[in-house]
Structure 1
Amino acid sequence: MASSKSTSNRMLYAGGGLLLVLFVAGGLGWQLGWFGGGERGLSVEAEQAERRTITQVVTAFGRAQPEVEVEISPDVPGEIVELPVQEGDVVEQGDLLARLEAEDYRASVERAQAGVSEAKATLAQRRADSVQARRTYDRQKELYEKEVVPASDFEEAESTYEQAVAQLEAARFRVESTQADLQDAREQLQKTRIYAPMAGTITRLEVEEGERVVGTQQRAGTEMMRVSRLGQMELEVDVNESDVVNVASRDSATIEFDAHPDRSFQGAVTEIANSARIQNEGSQNEVTNFPVTIRVLNNPNTGLTSGEQGAIARPEVPPTGGGSPVLRPGMSGAVDIYTETAEDAVAVPIQAVTVRDFAEARSGAPADTAGQDGEAAEDLRRVVFVAEGDSARMVEVNTGVADDTYMEIKAGLEGGETVITGPYSAISRNLEPGMKIRTGEEGGQSGETIAMTQ
């Protein structure tokens, strides 16, 4: 009895497994067109080629910076004894920014003044010596001509006079030298006071009162602060070498900053670098970019230009106008540069355009087959596939500009054709001219992406 029941269970399991295999095979055969209506064709998506305006966009990223920014470094070393500004202060040209300890420089001025006085006294003495030597020379010359004194006395007087003249000339040069030293000492003293070279905002303050700073005459001086004109901002972005050829001066741009996600700013290209900025040079990750400068238009920081808030501002003193800057140096942003626009152009989705090797199609050989010279004989051209009834036709096209979605077709299509847009695997590899196809509507998918089968 138990043996009969076990045999029945095994037959039941075997029958169930067989039904499952037949069900899977049937579904696969239906999809592949082995039965159930004959050849159904390759399931594809399609869209009509239409005329539209296409604007080519180059996207890049960078950081905001003032168009004019001056680094303030001292010309002379010393200790900061006065620092009347703070970061964020608005200053006018000529405002005092810092003062260095000046005692040593005052002493240098006094020494230089003493040196000038000494040189002038020496000059007066040499002038008197010259006059005396001249008189002696004249007397000896007169006596020598009357043959009263020997020639040696006359020659000695002449030599003494020439030496006196030379010493007088040297004394004059010494006075000029000491006067130059005095002027230099006075300039060094004046450089202990650092003034604003232009009107702007203190956007960076690197020092505190009491610190010692190094002057630029000895080495690269200590950067004390930066004065920037926040009324006009710009971005410096890195544009890839393949895109920079499409960018031109004065191209318009749209800028979005991370700090202002709900607001966009208009910009314009003002400068394109001629030299590349190369990262990871010599490695497999080498990247070549060109710096491009984008000016932010319409001054988003209106009210922060010089003169509108007065001179040096203080947090404890309410400002008379303006407010916090909308854009601050260092803010990161994304830029879309509009490089070229094609109006009323025949356009197709970007994914509809692919590249096929016409040499392979002619010869029937694989694309990587080498010729007699050892080089691969390829004839790569851009094509689209047009749906005509239930079959696909390959059309060679010439393309133009492209945006994020559509590409311009300059030649090959007139507009109105039904262009196959997917799936990607079918367009890039599997579709062939004359191949049977069925669109999404025919397959009951209403335009949704259908898995490629053949």
Structure 2
Amino acid sequence: MGKNKPSNKKIFWWVGGIFVLLIGGGLILRVTGVIGQNTGEIEVETATAKLKTITQLVSSSGRIQPEVEVIIRPDVSGEIIELSVKEGDFVKKGDLLVRIKPDIFQARIDELNAALLTQKARLEQTRASLIQAESAFRKNKELYDKDLISELEFTQIKSEYESQKASLKASEYQVESAQAQLRRAKEELDQTVIRAPQDGTVTGLDVEAGERVLGNTQMAGTEMMRISLLDKMEVLVEVNENDIVNVNLADTARIEVDAYPERRFNGIVTEIANSARTTGAGTNEQITNYQVKVRIVTPHNLAMSGTELRRTETSENVSESFAPNFKPGMSATVDVETETAVNVTSVPIQAVTIRDFSKDKASKEEGESASESADVLVVKEDIRKVVFVVENGKAVRKEVETGISDNSHIQILSGIDTGDEVVIGSYRTLSKTLNDGDAVKVSDQQIIALAH
């Protein structure tokens, strides 16, 4: 008996230690809220619906390009003997750009001048023959009328006269043809000198003096350079088919250019394409876009408009005097303001979710026909937009009608009022967990009020 006493004492201490640990762990779990505080409430984040001005945006990315860009191609082929500009030069309408070697065209003019003189000489010779034939015709007609010559002889003389008249006409046409060829040759000679068709900046130069270029006779000639109006730039973007219906001519736009990350520029929609640009046709990745041109109305590239830029910059007016220098091909993002609603009831976009009301209907009908368990209830989906409003500690589901939205907020046309506390999170809670009538607890860290 005496040998068992130490063993029982050891067991007692082990049991006591385990009991103390259990009590301590329970207190810790209770303090941290893991146990003992489960009231069935769902923790949610809320925001207050308030009046706000919402501007619906259609966003897209694209490239900056000149509104007007003229591609210079030669009308005649030949060697460039003079190149009067370099890339970046500003030119006035009529300024000399390129001169093509004119020797072959000058030789052609000399040749055609000689041919024209030959045709004129033949014309005079034919005219003299006609005068002679006309005189013979008249004399023999008098003799024929007096029956002094035979009809056959008179017919031959008449035919000769008519033939000379036709020859004169042919000679006149040959002279006109030679003159036309000469005019064409002179025009080709003039085309060896290429001048600027408009004011602008040389934005691309693809040739050098001494190169040979092809004219536009039978195909597109050599592209020599481009002249652009850099003080009138636009952004070319592609808008998805789902958004293009909201974009209209003259819509205001805000433009962000990658080269100027801290600034936004004003724009206006000037052109909307009617034909679509489709990529991945016939596949699951098919995309249909429409090109939209947005003119940059903020003054820009003032030093490239052909006039001196006279401006004084001080610490008071630096931002006002700032004028960006855009270059063709720069990346830009455009936000087109398609519609604005002023002072309307708004909530964060994430507050609006969807629920299938057919499930409620199915549950109700299932309860009413519990005795007829063999029947199968078939109910069509009834998807509606809803917002959960916190009232007396419960989430009340309210069906809403929405209007336009911006990047963060959505307009509520009906269903809730300004001042209602709406549930905005978490996402999982809103999309799956939360139901009408659930008890909720508002998170102390997420109570958001929308500013005007």
Residue equivalent to 1:163: 163
Match of 1:356 in 2: 355
Q: Does the CA-based 8 Å contact 1:387-1:393 persist in structure 2?
A: yes
Q: Which residue of 2 aligns with 1:208?
A: 208
> In structure 1, what is the equivalent of residue 391 of structure 2?
388
Cα contact 2:47–2:447 (8 A) shared by 1: no
CA gap of 1:52–1:108, structure 2 versus 1, over 3 A, is same
2-side partners of 1:223 and 1:301: how far apart?
A: 25
Q: What is the aligned partner in structure 1 of residue 306 from structure 2?
A: 306
Cα gap change, 1:207 to 1:273, in 2 (>3 Å): same
Gaps of 5+ in 2: 1-6, 310-321, 365-377
Report if the CA contact (8 A) 2:299-2:323 is conserved: no
Percent same amino acid at aligned positions? 43
> How many angstroms does 1:308 deviate by?
4.2
In the TM superposition, what are the counterparts of 1:353-432 in structure 2 within 5 Å?
353-364=352-363, 377-432=380-435
Matches for 1:93-132 after TM superposition, within 5 Å: 93-132=93-132
SS in 2 for 1:421: strand
State the secondary structure of the residue aligned to 2:304: coil
CA displacement at 1:326 relative to structure 2? 0.7
Q: Distance in 2 between matches of 1:150 and 1:392?
A: 127
| Partner AA of 1:55 in structure 2 | T
Deviations 1:289-318 (A, max 9, x none): 111111111321123213549xxxxxxxxx
- Tell me the alpha carbon deviations over residues 174-193 of structure 1, each in whole angstroms, 9 at most, x when there is no partner: 11111111111111111111
Contact between 1:304 and 1:325, CA under 8 Å: does it hold in 2? no
CA distance in structure 1 between the aligned counterparts of 2:255 and 2:190, rounded to whole angstroms? 45
Query: Could you say which residue in structure 1 is the equivalent of 2:197?
Result: 197
Alpha carbons of structure 1 residues 192 and 325: separation in structure 2 relative to 1, 3 Å: farther
Query: Under a length normalisation based on structure 2, what TM-score does the superposition of the two structures give?
Result: 0.84
- Structure 1 window deviating more from structure 2 (355-364 vs 91-100): it is 355-364
Matches for 1:68-83 after TM superposition, within 5 Å: 68-83=68-83
Q: Is the 8 A contact 2:358 2:379 kept in 1?
A: no
Counterpart of 1:42, as a letter, is: I
- Distance in 1 (alpha carbons) for counterparts of 2:324 and 2:296: 14
Could you tell me how far 1:148 is from its partner in structure 2?
2.3
- 1:39 deviates by 2.9
1:239 alignment counterpart: 239
> Partner letter of residue 113 of structure 1?
N
The residue identity in structure 1 corresponding to 2:70 is V
Unaligned segments of structure 1, at least 5 residues: 310-322, 366-374, 450-454
**In structure 1, what is the equivalent of residue 319 of structure 2?**
none
Q: How many residues align?
A: 410
Report the alpha carbon displacement of residue 324 of structure 1 after superposing the two structures with TM. 10
1:271 to 2:271 alignment: yes
> 1:127-152: CA deviations, max 9, x gaps?
01111111111122222222222222
Taking only aligned residues, the RMSD between alpha carbons, in angstroms, comes to 3.0
In 1, Cα distance between equivalents of 2:38 and 2:100:
95
Q: Does 1:286 align with 2:289?
A: no
Pair 1:179-2:179 in alignment:
yes
SS of residue in 2 equivalent to 1:447: strand
Structure 2 letter corresponding to 1:131: I
1:348–1:406 Cα contact (<8 Å) kept: yes
Query: 1:40 deviation in Å?
Result: 2.9
Q: Check whether the contact 2:351–2:425 (CA below 8 A) recurs between aligned residues.
A: yes
3-state SS, counterpart of residue 263 of structure 1: strand
With over 3 angstroms needed to count, the CA separation of the structure-2 counterparts of 1:163 and 1:304, relative to structure 1, is same
Distance 1:255 1:325, change over 3 A: closer
Work out whether residues 92 and 307 of structure 1, in 8 Å CA contact, stay in contact via their aligned partners in 2: no
Q: Which amino acid aligns with 1:392?
A: A
Measured after TM superposition, the shift of residue 390 of structure 1 is 2.1
Using the alignment, how far apart are the partners of 1:123 and 1:360 within structure 2? 102
- Looking at structure 2, the residues matched to 282 and 166 of structure 1 have their Cα atoms a distance apart, in angstroms, of 67
Moved more, 392-401 or 104-113: 104-113
- Higher mean alpha-carbon deviation, 35-44 vs 121-130, is at 35-44
Distance 1:190 1:304 in 2: 30
- Structure 2 CA distance for aligned equivalents of residues 342 and 139 of structure 1: 100
The reply on whether 1:347 has 2:350 as its aligned counterpart is no
Mapped partners of 1:122, 1:300: distance in 2: 65
1:436 corresponds to = 439
In structure 2, C-alpha distance between the alignment counterparts of 1:437 and 1:38, rounded to whole Å: 12
1:391 alignment partner AA: K
